[in-house]
A and B are shown apart, each in its own frame.
Chain A
Amino acid sequence: MSSDSSHNVSYLDYKGRWKGKITSWIFSTDHKKIGVLYLFSMLILFSIGVLFGFLMRLELIAPGKTIMEPQMYNSIFTLHGIIMIFMFIIPGLPAIFGNFFLPLLIGAKDVAFPRLNLLSWWLFMFGSLLAILSVFLPGGPVDTGWTFYVPYSVRSTTNVFPALIAAFILGFSSILTGLNFITTIHRMRVQGMTWFRMPLFVWSLYATSWIQILATPIIGITLLLVVMERAFNIGIFDPSLGGDPVLFQHLFWIYSHPAVYVMIIPAMGIISEIIPVFARRTIFGYKFIAFSSIAIALMGSLVWAHHMFTVGMSPTAMIIFSVLTFLVAIPSAIKVFNWVATLYKGSIQLDPPMLYALGFIFLFSIGGFTGLIQGALSVNIHIHDTSFIVAHFHYVMFGGTGFGIFAALHYWFPKMFAKSYNMKTAKFSFWTLFFGFNVLYFPMFVMGWLGMPRRYYDYLPEYHIYHFISTIGSWIVVIALVAMFANFIVALRKKEKFTEENPWGGETLEWKTSTPPPLENFDIEPVVDSHPYEYKMNEPDQDLLKEEGTK
């Protein structure tokens, strides 16, 4: 691959042995192209997920039937969960921005196993298409909730089987990506890039990858057991065959709780990249942020049963899981404090990536604090499985990871595509999204506390006002997302190239190569001789993107 012709060629133009426009993308082993493939496939899946969420909210705008039957509603919330969790939030940041930027950030030419990387994308697409296909197969779309709780998932006559297989395949994609990243980080750092000179996003990917490798096989096996339960009646989980449905919940959450940290840790990594750049100073407490990612990964693997406080566990188990749940909040708090401290005596510019980063801190904090509320045993008994939980995890997953993904997109978009987006539209969509988000999800805290259970097609009249406000919020969120995506699409269609190497004035290596990056990332191998955010206190050359916004 390192023939002379590949030098100085933008990765976007390099086709290798593939002549076609499409084949040169879908068979490329270039980590950057694979990252872009993931980006587009996931944004499509995300849009489908948003559509389902929008329809759910529309159904709930008033009590009784509004636009769909209960069976349809049950399938839609299930698919919303499966798509958003398995196909967007879990793999999102590592697969899109990890793929594209991990090698750049550590000065490598590619990931350790480029072909395995391409295979991961193919597996991802195969799993996703199978899940989408299951909607149209006879039997009807799966209606078990994304959690596939037994015995319901064994009894449901809908297409549970393809959905389980799809999730199983998606798991392999995650495992292979994790394996690839760990090897890349261990073996392919450029000279001078010691562990403590790695950008914090790399640390977060490292922690995440270990969880993916260690925990994903458990869900894979568990889902296969459900498949076997349905097919052969073996009686592991199904109580009517002598199985134990609570065992399923344990196995499910042993993976799915760490998976929550797979979702959030890389987003925290993104925030740790963005804040120093837009504050023009080094990060506060580098090692504490780096190690808190590892601490979250370790402790987060030991708190799964806090999803099951009402299931009937021993008091000992309850105490241990509650204590650990509270303790896992500490490393997250450390990160938040360090980010805020990084603003101290900075020189702060509120460009769109920074707005998303600060929005992340606020929304994630609310998500974290409401997590503490749920960690308290007596309170948990009341709010478990109510819309309070729904609000909490949307604050963490959407307000946290979602905003992290949007922050990354606004931050790296010019580097990835050599196109600049409109700053005013970007700021407009941020504020609209931020406002709409709170209108959409905050009422769910209130009605959850008042006793509104989750996954309800219909509700008692006393909850109407909260559902109504929430649905209005969903419209604002959709408007904001449309504005954001339209902004990017307009930017992509621009003829004018944006070739500024370092528009934001970043110090990490991805800003030290041309825009867009060449095929093997660096024409001259970079040299690393300091920490990742050592601002030498000089102003960036030019803020071209800023001018763009004032046009």
Chain B
Amino acid sequence: MFSNSNYIDSVDHAFIFIVAISFILLVFITGLMIYFVIKYSRKNNPKAENIHGNLKLEIFWTVVPVFLVMGMFYFGWVGYADLQNPPPESMKVKVVGQMWKWYFDYENGVRTDTLFVPINKPVKVEVTSIDVNHSFFVPAFRFKKDAIPNRINTAWFKPEELGSFDVACAEYCGLKHAYMYTEVVVMTEADFLAKMESELAKKNIPAPTEVKTDK
């Protein structure tokens, strides 16, 4: 499995683990149901038998699922725990959502509407919004963080493949919610530095908008 970011593997593995167990159980339950319906149809079994229950069976199908779901929890948690702690050497980018576009502020003062990041470098995003709730979603990275006004949500990721990947808004935000797409462009470090250089040279960036205080 190729990998676009550091989360892909842990998310996909947890997903496959849960889907596999669920699929086996679903096939088992459905198969058993169909088998019983045929075997004990009124035609094949005109006289039913009253069975009130079986304590051992009840304990069995309570305890076993508990272990299964705790396993699922563990896989999910392991993949997530990482998201909390950006490595100290991370590049910081402020991600700001507004109706209905994104902009990205880098530490050197550059502001772009497309997120440029160097490959294999951890990127710490500080996600916020200046109007209503949005959510910064990069499906290819299996990564999402809500953008909420007056609140900075941090998370990080490490892109591991060159290319452009879609950024979507995943929290409903009104009229053009479906069009709030941009891209994250993963570049070689040299390309990235050159890009920053040219952006800095342009410097035709509007002054940063303050967090709106009016309604």
Could you list which residues of chain A lie within 8 angstroms of chain B, going by C-beta atoms? 70-71, 74, 143, 145, 149, 151-152, 154-156, 233, 238-242, 244-246, 279-282, 284-288, 310-312, 315, 318-319, 322-323, 326-327, 329-330, 333-334, 336-338, 340-341, 343-350, 358, 361-362, 365-366, 369-370, 372-373, 375-382, 384-386, 449-451, 453-460, 534-535, 537
A333 touches B65 (CB 8 A): yes
Q: Which residues of chain A are within 8 angstroms of B66 by Cβ–Cβ distance?
A: 327, 330
- Complex A-B: 14 CB contacts under 8 Å: A145-B172, A239-B148, A239-B150, A245-B148, A245-B151, A285-B54, A345-B51, A348-B45, A358-B33, A372-B72, A378-B76, A378-B80, A379-B79, A382-B142
Residue interface bits B19-50, CB-to-A below 8 A is 1, else 0:
10010011001101100110011100111111
Separation of A372 and B181 alpha carbons in the complex (Å): 29
Partner of A375, one of B10, B72, B79, B214: B72
Contact of A155 among B33, B40, B132, B150 (CB under 8 A): B132
Give Cα distance in the complex from A449 to B75, angstroms: 18
A343-B132 contact, Cβ under 8 Å, with A310-B145, A377-B79, A458-B179: no
- Take A240-B215, A285-B53, A348-B41 as given contacts and tell me if A70 and B175 are in contact as well, using a CB distance cutoff of 8 Å: yes
Cα of A456 to Cα of B48 in the assembled complex, Å? 51
Cα(A318)–Cα(B66), bound, Å: 19
Name the A residues within 8 Å of B78 (CB-CB): 378
Known A-B contacts: A233-B215, A340-B32, A385-B144. Give 10 more (CB < 8 A): A155-B131, A240-B213, A312-B148, A318-B80, A348-B42, A365-B26, A375-B72, A378-B10, A380-B76, A537-B50
A338 / chain B contacts, CB cutoff of 8 Å: 53, 58
Distance from A427 Cβ to chain B, minimum over Cβ atoms (Å): 14
Do B50 and A340 touch across chains, with their CB atoms under 8 A apart? Answer: no
CA A477 – CA B95 in complex, angstroms?
42
Given A377-B76, A457-B177, also A286-B143 (CB < 8 A): no
CA distance in complex: A287, B15 (Å): 34
A537 and B170 form a contact (CB under 8 A): no
Q: Tell me whether A373 and B18 are in contact (CB under 8 A).
A: yes
State whether B73 touches A70 (Cβ < 8 A): no
Closest to B10 in A: A378
> A343–B37 contact, CB under 8 A?
yes
Are B65 and A330 within 8 A (Cβ)?
yes
CB distance from B85 to the nearest CB of A (A): 9
Task: Verify B11–A310 contact, CB threshold 8 A.
Answer: no
User: Chain B contacts of A361 at CB under 8 A?
Assistant: 29, 33
Q: How far is the CA of A263 from the CA of B86 in the complex (A)?
A: 41
CA–CA, A468 and B165, complex, Å: 24
| Residues of A with C-beta under 8 A to B29 | 336-337, 340, 361-362, 365
Closest beta carbon of chain A to B67's beta carbon, Å: 11
Task: State the CA gap A520–B166 with chains docked (Å).
Answer: 64
Q: Nearest chain A CB to B113's CB is how many angstroms away?
A: 18
User: B166 near A460 (CB under 8 angstroms)?
Assistant: yes
* Bitwise interface map of B from 47 to 71 toward A, beta carbon under 8 Å scored 1, else 0: 1111111100110011001100110
CA distance A143 to B177 in the complex (A): 12
Check if B119 is an interface residue, CB within 8 A of chain A: no
Q: How far is the CA of A489 from the CA of B215 in the complex (A)?
A: 52
| A323 with B73, Cβ < 8 A, contacts A152-B172, A453-B170 known | yes
The answer to whether A71 and B175 have CB atoms under 8 Å apart is yes
Shortest beta-carbon distance from B59 to chain A in Å = 10
Measured CB to CB, the closest approach of chain A to B9, in angstroms, equals 10
Evaluate contact between B149 and A245: CB separation under 8 angstroms.
yes
CB neighbours of B77 from chain A (8 A)? 319, 322, 376-378
In B113-160, which residues have CB < 8 Å from any A CB?
131-133, 135, 137, 139-140, 142-146, 148-151, 153
Cβ–Cβ contact B50 & A282, under 8 A: yes
- Chain A positions within 8 Å of B213 at CB level: 240
Check B195 for interface membership: any CB of A closer than 8 A.
no
Q: Tell me the nearest residue of chain A to B19, going by C-beta.
A: A373
Q: Is B174 an interface residue (CB 8 A)?
A: yes
- CB-CB nearest in chain A for B165: A451
- Complex Cα distance, B81 from A199, in Å, reads 45
Cross-chain contact of A282 among B26, B45, B51 (Cβ < 8 A): B51
What are the 4 A-B residue pairs with the smallest beta carbon separation, nearest first? Answer: A451-B139, A376-B76, A378-B79, A369-B22
CA distance A344 to B54 in the complex (A): 12
B199 contacts the other chain (Cβ, under 8 Å)? no
- Contact yes or no, A345 B175, CB < 8 A: no
Contact A347 B168 (CB under 8 A): no
Q: How far is the CA of A287 from the CA of B55 in the complex (A)?
A: 11
Query: With the chains together, A242 CA to B47 CA distance in Å?
Result: 70
- Measured between alpha carbons, how far is A344 from B146 in the docked complex, in Å? 48
Chain B nearest CB, measured from A196 CB (Å) = 12
- B83 on the interface (CB 8 Å rule)? yes
Do A340 and B36 have beta carbons less than 8 Å apart?
A: yes
Provided the pairs A346-B36, A385-B171 are in contact, do residues A315 and B81 lie with their beta carbons within 8 angstroms?
A: yes
Q: Which of A242, A287, A456 has the most chain B CB within a 10 Å cutoff? A: A456
Tell me whether B178 and A240 are in contact (CB under 8 A). Answer: no
CB contacts (< 8 Å) of A326 on chain B: these are: 69-70, 72-73
Closest chain-A Cβ to B100's Cβ sits at a distance in Å of: 10
Residues of A within 8 Å of B36, CB to CB, are: 340, 343-344, 346, 348
B17 nearest CB across to chain A (Å)? 9
**Do A349 and B41 have beta carbons less than 8 Å apart?**
yes
Q: Which chain A positions have C-beta within 8 A of B148?
A: 239, 245-246, 311-312
